Amino acid sequence: MTANDRQAEAVVTPPVPPAAEQDRVETEGARADRPSALARVLDTGVGRNLGLVAVLVVLCVIGVSTADTFATTSNLLTILTSASIIGVITVGVTVVIIGGGIDLSVGKVMALASVWATTVATQSYGPAVMVFCALAVGAGCGLVNGVLIAYGRIVPFIVTLAMLISAQGLAERISGKRSQIVTDPTIAAIATTRVLGIPLLVYIFAAVVAVGWVLLNRTTFGRRTFAIGGNPEAARLAGLHVRRHTVLLYVISGLCAGIAAIMIASLTTTGSSTHGTLYELDAIAAVIIGGTLLTGGRGTLIGSILGVLVFTTITNLFILNNLATEVQNIAKGLIIVAAVLFQSRARRADT
């Protein structure tokens, strides 16, 4: 090709490679990233959840075959009720983890909120103020967490660990390390009320999950949460208010802890600094087996909730069969490891 020809070609045709060639390269590249059929199914939110649904089904089969009472309505409602409190907490923790953070303080923030809402002084103002107090304490703790993390630039692990410890301390201080009895009949009635045969606690749980799901999947807030968790620098350079958003994530988590505080105060009819011990770990474990990346940016709320149900069902099975709780924790540990192994296999096949 002479120099003249080359110039002529440069002028006449846009300087792109022949389309067929480019397509070939691209489809080749695309095929490299096309995962195997199994991995593809597992990689979708539904697929990962299907795995957990399968685990749940297996657990139910074990339940039905080992305990006569497992498949009764009352037992299933027991499972759902005991899942409801940790479930509400898990919603908040899922949102934070997808957003690239971690919240270790949820259990003790719940304890603090339950204590604050059930002091004699608070109870004297009636149920509305009690609920308000619990939510405000939860959201307030979340706000402190979020501001320290986003504006103070301290690692979330440290901030929320410090919050866990100090919330515990404050709860003990306020309550004098005593359980505070819930005397308000309205609050006490939350746990005993049933609508259409289903406990009110389960409705609250379902409502929080529904709101959380819509927030994560159908709003700009949710989309930005995934973006910030997936690549905070890219999110910042795309003009997102990353810090403000991060604060809100922790406020949401705190708020969920506040809601859970009312639920547990009602269920146990006490506010106590001993509530919620190790709830943060249960919640994080549920999030992990639900397929959410601990590094943020990817995950599903439904997965987390299934994770909660799996753990609660295991507990229920052990109780029905009069097995020791120690063994139960070993089983949970194994499930976490198995779930993560399974997911990382699927993901590796994917890349």
Partner 1 sequence: MAEPERSEVDPTVSDLPTPLLQMRGIVKEFPGVRALDGVDLDVAAGEVHCLLGQNGAGKSTLIKVLAGAHRPDSGEIRWAGSPIVFGSPHDADAAGIATIHQELDLVPGLSVAENIVLGHEPGRFGFSSPRSAENVARALLRRLGHPEIPPRRELGRLSAAGQQIVSMARALSRDARLIVMDEPSAVLDADEVDNLFRVVRELTADGVAVVYISHRLEEIRRIGDRVTVLKDGRTVARNLSAPQTPTSEVIRLMTGRAIEYVFPDRGPTPTGDVVLEVDGLSRRGEFADVSFTVRAGEVVGLAGLVGSGRSEILETVYGARRPTTGTVRARGKKLPGGSVPAAVRAGMGLAPEERKSQGLLMSEPVYRNVSLPALGRFARAGFLSGGAELAAAAEITAQLDVRPPDPTRPVRTLSGGNQQKVVLARWLLEECSILLLDEPTRGVDVGARSEIYALIRRLAARGVAVLLVSSEVPEVLGLADRVLVVREGRVVREAPATELDEGRVLDLVMEGRDREGSRL
CA distances from 322 to 34, 221, 312, 317, 328 (A): 48, 45, 15, 8, 11
Other C-beta atoms closer than 10 Å to the C-beta of 121 total: 10
Q: Which of residues 198-217 bind partner 1 (CB under 8 A)?
A: 214
**Residue 101 touching partner 1 (CB under 8 A):** no
Specify whether the CB–CB gap between 182 and 116 falls below 8 A: no
What are the b/e assignments for 135-156, b being 16+ CB within 10 Å? bbbbbbbbbbbbbbbbeeeeeb
Among 205, 226, 250, 279, binds partner 1 (CB under 8 A): 226
Binding footprint of partner 1, residue count (CB under 8 A): 48
Among 9, 44, 66, 334, binds partner 1 (CB under 8 A): 9
DSSP codes, 237-298 = HTT--HHHHHHHHHHHHHHHHHHHHHHHHHHHSEE-TTTTTTHHHHHHHHHHHTT--TTSS-
Distance CA 269, CA 275 (A): 12
CA distances from 39 to 57, 289, 304, 343 (A): 21, 17, 20, 9
Query: What angle in degrees, to the nearest 10, is found between the helix axes of 127-150 and 242-268?
Result: 150
Residues whose CB is less than 8 angstroms from the CB of residue 99 and which lie 6 or more positions away in sequence, other chains included: 225, 226, 228, 229, 245, 246, 249, 296
Q: Select 141 or 216, whichever has its Cβ closest to partner 1.
A: 216
Q: Which of residues 22-61 bind partner 1 (CB under 8 A)?
A: 22-36
Nearest approach, Cβ of 9 to partner 1 (angstroms)? 7
Among 60, 198, 236, 331, binds partner 1 (CB under 8 A): 236
Interface mask (CB under 8 A) for partner 1, residues 263-302, using x and -?
Answer: ----------------------------------xx----
Among 183, 219, 295, 321, binds partner 1 (CB under 8 A): 219
**Residue 68 touching partner 1 (CB under 8 A):** no
Residue 162 has, within 13 A of its CA and on its CB side, a CA count of 11
**Residue 10 touching partner 1 (CB under 8 A):** yes
Q: Select 37 or 120, whichever has its Cβ closest to partner 1.
A: 37
**Residue 349 touching partner 1 (CB under 8 A):** yes
**Residue 241 touching partner 1 (CB under 8 A):** yes
Other C-beta atoms closer than 10 Å to the C-beta of 183 total: 12
**Residue 14 touching partner 1 (CB under 8 A):** yes
CA distances from 163 to 89, 151, 159, 187 (A): 16, 16, 6, 27
Q: Which residue has the tokens 């089904």?
A: 57
Strand, helix or coil for residue 199: strand
Nearest approach, Cβ of 211 to partner 1 (angstroms)? 12
Residue 44 DSSP one-character state: S
Among 83, 88, 111, 235, binds partner 1 (CB under 8 A): 235
Q: Select 38 or 281, whichever has its Cβ closest to partner 1.
A: 38
Contact region with partner 1 (CB under 8 A), list: 114-122, 141-149, 150-158, 223-231: 223-231
**Residue 326 touching partner 1 (CB under 8 A):** no
Among 233, 324, 325, 326, binds partner 1 (CB under 8 A): 233
Specify whether the CB–CB gap between 140 and 254 falls below 8 A: yes
Nearest approach, Cβ of 249 to partner 1 (angstroms)? 15
**Residue 237 touching partner 1 (CB under 8 A):** yes
**Residue 158 touching partner 1 (CB under 8 A):** no
**Residue 323 touching partner 1 (CB under 8 A):** no
Q: Which of residues 173-192 bind partner 1 (CB under 8 A)?
A: none
Question: What residue ranges bind partner 1 (CB under 8 A)?
Answer: 1, 6, 9-10, 14-18, 21-36, 214, 218-221, 223-224, 226-227, 230-231, 233-241, 297-298, 349
